[in-house]
Amino acid sequence: MVYQTQGTCSREISFDVEGNKLKNVSFKGGCNGNLKGIGKLVEGMDIDEVINRVEGIQCGARPTSCPDQLARALKQYKAEHASN
């Protein structure tokens, strides 16, 4: 899935889900090293666990962050694949 972020330095998040596990997470734009690290840390995790851990994280005064945007992307993925 490719998700267009809102309110962050990163512009896009792409990822795959296999058996409810997160795979191949990558961010376009943003803090390159930190976002590569986030991608590696969540690799293979259950998507519900990722949502629980990163949802609501803020970046400075912004009401969202790249990790929060990942949670939003995963929630959208779940909504789109609920009937599958």
pLDDT in tens, 9-26: 999 999 999 999 999 999
What distances in angstroms separate CA 23 from CA 16, 39, 42, one per listed residue? 5, 9, 8
pLDDT digit string (tens) for 42-78? Answer: 999 999 999 999 999 999 999 999 999 999 999 999 9
Model confidence, pTM: 0.95
User: In whole angstroms, how far apart are CA 63 and each of 1, 20, 44, 59, 80?
Assistant: 24, 27, 27, 7, 24
Nearest-angstrom CA–CA distance, 50 and 22 = 9
